[in-house]
Structure 1
Amino acid sequence: PLDLTLLHTLLAVPDHEDGRELVSVAREVSATLPQLVISVAAREGVPLGSGSTDELARARTRAARYEQWRAAVAEAAPHGRVVKGPSLAARYPQDVVRPVGDLDLVLPDEAELWAAARTLTAGHDAEPYELTLVTDPQGALHVLLTVAWPSPDPLLEQELRVELSTAAFYGDLGALPLRPALPARQGLADLLSVVEERVQRPFHAKDAVDVLMLLHTGELADTGAVTDTLDAFRLTPEAHELLTLVHAAAPHPTLEALVSRTGPLAEDENRRRAATGARPEPAGVPERLASGFPVWGMLLDTGTGRCPTDRLRLDPGPSGTLAHTPVGSFLLVAGELVDPAEHAAAAASLASLDAGTHA
C-alpha cells in the first residue's frame, strides 16, 4: 500500500520520526517530493497547516495547467504521446499527488513537434527555452525543444516547462545511444521513461512509487514482455537497480521475477557498453552533428517566417551555424561557454538576413 510506512522505508526515515522529518528528508531528495509525502499524510488523516495545504494546492494547480496545455497540443499534434507525468499520475490514488515537475511529450516527427510548439507559443504565451539537436545512429536529425512560462512563485517553484521531442530516449549518447521510438504499450513506455532517468540522476522514492503504481495496475504482470522490452531498449542495468530497490522496500512475486530476469541481462548490457568504449567528442557544431553528439541552441529572437512551418532550417555561416525554426532562431553552440563576439556576429547575421528578406 502507498502509505506513510512505505515512504518511511523508501526515504530511510526511522519509524519513530514524525511526518515533519519525513517531509524534511523528502525535500533534501527533490524539491517536489514533499508533495507526495504531504498528500499521503493527508489521506491518512494527518491534519494539514496552511503551508502544507498551500503546497498541495500549488501542485494541483500546476498539474491542471499542464493538462490544459496537453489537451491543446493534442489537437495540433494528434500523434504525440505523453510519457511519465500525467500518464503515471493517473495510476495513483485520486487523492495522492504525484510530484509535478514538467510535461514530457514525444512527437512522431518534426511537423507535429513544430505544430505543438506553435500552439504553446502563439496560443498559450510560452517562450522557447532550450533547443537541442542530435542525430541518431541512422543519421536522422532529432529535435528536443523546451518551452517555458515564468514561475508562479519564483521563490518557491521553478518555471513551468513542456519538453517536446522527436526522440523518446537519449541515453548518454555514448555507450547508451539514442533510441527514438516508444513501445506501443503506454505502461511500458512509462516504465522505460522512469528507468531512463537513471542516466541523469540516482533513483529516489518517487521512482519506486511509480513502479509500484504500474505493478498495482497490472502493467508489469507479463514479466517476459517487460523484460524483453527493457532488453530491447538496452535499459536492463538501470531497471535491475530500480526493481531491486523497490522489491527490497515492498516485496512482491512479480518484482522478484523481474529482478531475477533482468540480472543476467544487465550483466550482458554492461559488458556491451564497456566494449563500446569512449568516443572522441568533436568541438565544432557541424562535426558534432555529423558524429551523433548534441548541439544546443542559444535563442537569438522569436521571429518566424525564416523557415518552413513544419521543420527547422540550418544556416551554416562564418559567424556560426544558425537554426531557424518555426518559433524563433538560435545560434547553435557546442558547449556552455560562448564567445560574446560569436554571439554578436550571429545576431548581426540574423539582422542582415531579415533586412535582405524585406528589401
Structure 2
Amino acid sequence: MMQEMRIDTDLLGRLLDVPENPEEGADWALVRAARVRSWSLPALPLSALENEGHQLGTGSRDELRRIRDRRGTYAGILVDVITAEPATRVIKGLALAELYPAGLVRPVGDLDLFVPDEAALWRVVGAVVARHPVQEIGVSLYGRTDRHMLVSLLWPAADPALEPSLKVEVCTAVFAGNRRDVGTRATVPEHPVIANLLAVAEERFQRPFEIKDVVDVIVADRHCTGLIDQIAAAAGQFHLAPELSELLDLTRRHAEIGPLGEVADSLHDAVVRERRRRREWTQPLVPTGVGEPARALMAGRPVGGLLLEEQRWHADMRESLLHPFDEGCLLRTPVGTYLLVDHEIVTHELYERALVELERLERG
C-alpha cells in the first residue's frame, strides 16, 4: 500500500520553488514565496511550520489567527444558511478545508454555496443579511438556455489593510462553463469529494491551476478510495475530463497520489471524446428581436448587475423580476434593483435612462 503523502514544509518548498538553503532563511523564504502567489496562501506554510515546532512570532501567529477566525466565521454562516435552506451545499473552500489534516490550515478566502433554485437562493441571502454586516451585494445572471443566478455578499475583514473583504457567494449552478463549448451544468455530483474535486477542475476555465489546487488534490486523494470509477464517470458527464486530467498530471509531477493517480490513468478516452465534442461544437444562433440581457446570455456571456437602488431586504419577494425597457433591462430583487449589463463601461445616458425607468416603475 502506498504511504500517504505528507504535507509538510519540504513538500511546500518544492511546490513553491524555494531553494533548499536560501540565504535569507528557510522559513522566511517559504512564507514569502507563498505571499507572492496569493494573499491567503501563507496560512498554509505558516501552519505547517507551526505543526513542525518552528518558532512563530507575533505577526505570524496573528496572521494564522485571522485566517482561522475567517474560516470560523464562514462555518458559522453555513450553520445559519442550512437552517434557513437545508438543501444548501458548500463547495470548494470550506468543504475542502475540512478534509485537511489537523493543524494544517487551508486558506479559505470566500464561502461558496450552491442551492437548487432561485427561491432557495434568496432564503440563503436573507439569512446572511439578517445576521452579518453585509455592505455590498452583487448580482449576476448566467446560462444560455436556462437562467442561473450568482449573488455575492461582502463586508470588511478583521484587518482591511491586510486582507480583502469577507465574501459569501450563493449560486444556482456551480459549473458555469467556459462561455463557449462547455455550457452551464445545473447539477453537481452527490458525493461531496467528487463534487469538490470537479469544482477545482472547473476553475481552469478562469485561471491556470495553482499550488493550492495541487495540495487540494493531495488531500482529496486520501478520501477517494473506492471512488475511481465514479470520479472518471463524473469527469465525462460534466465535460471536465481535460481539466481534471491536467490537474491530476500537474499533481503527479510534484507528489505521489494513489486513487487519483488511477483516475488520471483512466481518463485518456474521456479526454479524447470531450476534446472532439468541443471541436465539433457550434455557437447557437441568437434569434433576431431578442433584447438584452437575453441576447448576451444566449451568446454565452454572463450579465452583471449595476445597483440602482438598494433595499435592505424585501421578505415578501421570492424571485427576482426582469423588466425590459427600450435601452436595456432592470432586475428587481429582494435586495434592490439593478441595471443588467454585459460590458464594463456603462454610459451616463444608459444609467440616467435606467433611473428614469425605475422612477416610473415606483410611481406605478
TM-score bin, normalised by smaller chain:
over 0.9
CA contact (8 A) 1:319 1:349 kept: no
Which amino acid is the alignment partner of residue 87 of structure 1? A
1:10 to 9, 15, 29: 15
Structure 2: unaligned runs, 5 residues or longer: 1-5
1:135-171 CA deviation, whole Å, 9 max, x = no partner?
34xx321111111112332221111110000001001
The 3-state SS of whatever aligns with 1:16 is coil
- Write out per-residue CA displacement over residues 243-265 of structure 1, whole angstroms, 9 at most, x where no aligned residue: 11112222234233222112332
Distance 1:306 1:215, change over 3 A: closer
Cα distance in 2 between the residues matched to 1:259 and 1:11: 23
One of 62, 72, 96 as aligned partner of 1:54: 62
Report the CA distance between 1:311 and its aligned residue. 0.7
Question: Where has structure 1 moved over 6 Å in runs of 4 or more?
Answer: 279-283, 304-307
Q: Aligned letter for 1:93?
A: P
1:101 aligns with 2:109: yes
Superposition deviation, residue 292 in structure 1? 4.3
Report deviation, 1:94. Answer: 2.2
Q: Residue in 1 aligned with 2:256?
A: 251
Tell me the SS of whatever aligns to 1:177. Answer: coil
Per-residue deviation, 1:307: 9.8
CA offsets per residue over residues 196-215 of structure 1, 9 Å max, x none?
11111111111111111111
Measured in 1, the distance between the counterparts of 2:244 and 2:40 equals 23
Aligned length: 353
- Which runs of no fewer than 5 residues in structure 1 stay unpaired? none
1:296–1:332 CA contact under 8 A, matched in 2: yes
| SS at 1:187 equivalent | helix
Preserved CA contact (<8 Å) 1:121 1:127: no
Change (3 A) 1:221 1:2: farther
Residue of structure 2 in register with 1:173 after alignment: 179
Residue 281 (structure 2) aligned to one of 276, 279, 301: 276
Q: Does residue 143 of structure 1 match 2:145? A: no
- SS in structure 2 at match of 1:316: strand
Structure with more helix by fraction: 1
Partners of 1:289 and 1:197 lie apart in 2 by 20
Q: Give the C-alpha shift of residue 304 in structure 1.
A: 6.7
Structure 1 residue aligned with 2:361:
353
Look up the match of 1:331. Answer: 339
2:219 pairs with 213, 224, 228, which one? 213
State which drifts further: 278-287 or 115-124.
Answer: 278-287
Amino acid corresponding to residue 191 of structure 2 in structure 1: R
* SS of structure 2 residue aligned to 1:59: helix
CA distance in structure 2 between the partners assigned to 1:10 and 1:242 by the alignment: 14
Number of the residue aligned with 1:91 = 99
CA drift of 1:350 comes to: 1.7
Does residue 266 (structure 1) correspond to residue 271 (structure 2)? The answer is yes
Structure 1 distance, partners of 2:299, 2:316, is 26
> Can you list the C-alpha shifts for 1:86-141, whole angstroms capped at 9, x where unaligned?
211111122111112100000001111001111222332324432111234xx321
Matching residue of 2:124: 116
SS of corresponding position for 2:179: coil
Residue of structure 1 equivalent to 2:296: 288
Residue pair 1:104, 1:164 contacting (<8 A) in 2 also: yes
> Which among 304, 310, 318 is matched to residue 310 of structure 1?
318
Using the TM superposition, give the Cα deviation of residue 284 of structure 1 relative to its aligned residue in structure 2, in angstroms: 4.2
- Displacement of 1:285: 2.4
What is the 5 A alignment of 1:125-204? 125-136=133-144, 139-204=145-210
Separation in structure 2 between the aligned mates of residue 72 and residue 242 of structure 1, nearest angstrom: 33
Q: Per the alignment, do residues 305 and 260 of structure 1 end up closer, same or farther by CA in structure 2, a change over 3 Å counting?
A: closer
Q: Assess if the C-alpha contact under 8 Å between 1:130 and 1:146 holds in 2.
A: yes
Question: Compared with structure 1, are the counterparts of its residues 284 and 353 closer, same or farther at alpha carbon in structure 2 (3 Å cutoff)?
Answer: closer
